[in-house]
Structure 1
Amino acid sequence: MLKISLTLAAVLILAATADQAAKPAEPAKPAEPAKPAEPAKPPKKESKTNTKKEQKKEKVAKRPKKKESKSDPDPKPPVKNEKTKEQKPAQKIKEADEIAKAKSETERLSILNAYAEAKSKHDTIELRAEIARLKLEKELLSEKMAHAAATQSSNKMDQIAKYTAEKEELTRESTLAKLEAEKLGAELKVLQADSSMKTSGLMAEISEIEAQKKRDNYANADPVYLDTPLKKKGALVISDRRIPFNGPVTSTLADRVTTRINYFNNKDPKKPIFIVIDDSPGGSVMAGYRILKAMEGSEAPIYVVVKSFAASMAATITTLAEKSFVYPNAIMLHHQISQSFTFSSMNLTEQKENVEDLKKWWARLADPIAEKMGITSDEFIEMMYKKTVTGDWTEFGDDAVKLKWADYVVSRIHETALLKNPDAKIVAPTTTRSAAIENGLTPAIDDNGNHYMILPRRNPKDLYLMHNPDGFYRFK
Structure 2
Amino acid sequence: MLKPSRLFVHMIMAVAIPFAAFAETPTSPPPSESSATPAEGSIIGQNQDLGQGQIAALTTISPAAAPTVTTTSPSVTIETKVTPDSSNSDDPAVEKLGTETARLAAEKDKILAELALAQARLDAELAPGKQKAERLAAQLAELKAAQDLEDFQRKVLAEQTLGEFRVQLEKATLISTLAKAEVETEIAEIKRMENVIKKDTTRLAASMELEEKQADPRNYANNQPIYLENPLKDGNLVLSDRRIPLNGLIGMRTANDIVDRINYFNNRDRNLPIFIVIDDSPGGSVMAGYKILKAMQGSEAPVYTVVKSFAASMAACITTLAEKSFAYPNAVILHHQIASFSGGNLTQQQEWVREMEEWWKRLAGPVADKMGITREEFIKRMYAKSSSGDWNEFADEAQKLKWVDVVVEEIEETGTLRLPEDSGTEPSMRRLATSTASADPHAETTDAKGRPSMLLPRLNPFDCYWLYNPDGYYKLP
Q: TM-score scaled by structure 1?
A: 0.53
Native 8 Å contact 2:308 2:328 kept in 1: yes
Q: Secondary structure, in 3 states, of the residue corresponding to 2:432?
A: helix
**Could you report, residue by residue, the CA deviation over 1:244-265 in whole angstroms, capped at 9, with x for unpaired residues?**
0000111111111111111111
Structure 1 residue 444: Cα displacement: 2.0
Equivalent residue runs for 1:64-213 within 5 Å: none
Native 8 Å contact 2:246 2:276 kept in 1: yes
Distance 1:461 1:406 in 2: 29
Distance 2:308 2:262 in 1: 20
Distance 2:443 2:357 in 1: 30
How many residues are paired up?
Answer: 262
Partner of 1:370: 368
**Could you report, residue by residue, the CA deviation over 1:343-362 in whole angstroms, capped at 9, with x for unpaired residues?**
x32233x3222221111111
Partner of 2:359: 361
Distance 2:444 2:385 in 1: 33
**Could you report, residue by residue, the CA deviation over 1:339-379 in whole angstroms, capped at 9, with x for unpaired residues?**
112xx32233x322222111111110111001101111111
1:414 aligns with 2:422: no
1:435 aligns with 2:435: no
Structure 1 residue 426: Cα displacement: 4.4
Letter aligned with residue 224 of structure 1: I
Letter aligned with residue 229 of structure 1: P
Structure 1 residue 421: Cα displacement: 2.9
Q: Structure 2 vs 1, CA of residues 369 and 427 (structure 1 numbering), >3 Å: closer, same or farther?
A: closer
Distance 2:350 2:423 in 1: 49
Equivalent residue runs for 1:238-317 within 5 Å: 238-317=239-318
Partner of 1:70: none
Q: Structure 2 vs 1, CA of residues 240 and 385 (structure 1 numbering), >3 Å: closer, same or farther?
A: same
Letter aligned with residue 281 of structure 2: S
**Could you report, residue by residue, the CA deviation over 1:219-250 in whole angstroms, capped at 9, with x for unpaired residues?**
22100000000122x20000000000000111
Structure 1 residue 432: Cα displacement: 2.9
Q: Secondary structure, in 3 states, of the residue corresponding to 1:439?
A: coil
Letter aligned with residue 450 of structure 2: G
Distance 1:235 1:442 in 2: 36
**Could you report, residue by residue, the CA deviation over 1:269-314 in whole angstroms, capped at 9, with x for unpaired residues?**
1111000000100010000000000101100000000000000000
**Could you report, residue by residue, the CA deviation over 1:419-470 in whole angstroms, capped at 9, with x for unpaired residues?**
1233xx5454682333268522232211111110000112231111111010
Structure with bigger helix share is 1
Letter aligned with residue 444 of structure 2: P
Distance 1:433 1:376 in 2: 34
Q: Structure 2 vs 1, CA of residues 435 and 450 (structure 1 numbering), >3 Å: closer, same or farther?
A: same
Distance 2:439 2:315 in 1: 14
Q: Secondary structure, in 3 states, of the residue corresponding to 2:416?
A: coil
Q: Secondary structure, in 3 states, of the residue corresponding to 1:357?
A: helix
Gaps of 5+ in 1: 1-206
Q: Structure 2 vs 1, CA of residues 427 and 284 (structure 1 numbering), >3 Å: closer, same or farther?
A: closer
Q: Secondary structure, in 3 states, of the residue corresponding to 2:232?
A: coil
Distance 1:309 1:358 in 2: 24
Letter aligned with residue 433 of structure 1: R
Gaps of 5+ in 2: 1-209
1:379 aligns with 2:398: no
Letter aligned with residue 227 of structure 2: Y
Q: Structure 2 vs 1, CA of residues 278 and 362 (structure 1 numbering), >3 Å: closer, same or farther?
A: same
Residue identity over aligned pairs, in percent, reads: 56
Distance 1:256 1:241 in 2: 14
Distance 1:399 1:278 in 2: 19
Partner of 1:471: 472
Q: Secondary structure, in 3 states, of the residue corresponding to 2:272?
A: coil
Q: Which has the larger radius of gyration?
A: 1
Distance 1:347 1:396 in 2: 39
Q: Structure 2 vs 1, CA of residues 426 and 452 (structure 1 numbering), >3 Å: closer, same or farther?
A: closer
**Could you report, residue by residue, the CA deviation over 1:40-82 in whole angstroms, capped at 9, with x for unpaired residues?**
xxxxxxxxxxxxxxxxxxxxxxxxxxxxxxxxxxxxxxxxxxx
Distance 1:421 1:436 in 2: 17
RMSD over aligned Cα atoms: 2.0
Instruction: Give the alignment partner of residue 389 of structure 1, picking from 373, 387, 390.
Output: 387
Letter aligned with residue 245 of structure 1: L
Partner of 1:454: 455
Equivalent residue runs for 1:304-343 within 5 Å: 304-341=305-342
Distance 1:434 1:363 in 2: 31
Distance 1:314 1:323 in 2: 14
**Could you report, residue by residue, the CA deviation over 1:372-414 in whole angstroms, capped at 9, with x for unpaired residues?**
0111111111100000000000000110111100000000000
Partner of 1:346: 345
Q: Structure 2 vs 1, CA of residues 458 and 436 (structure 1 numbering), >3 Å: closer, same or farther?
A: farther
Q: Secondary structure, in 3 states, of the residue corresponding to 1:435?
A: coil
Q: TM-score scaled by structure 2?
A: 0.53
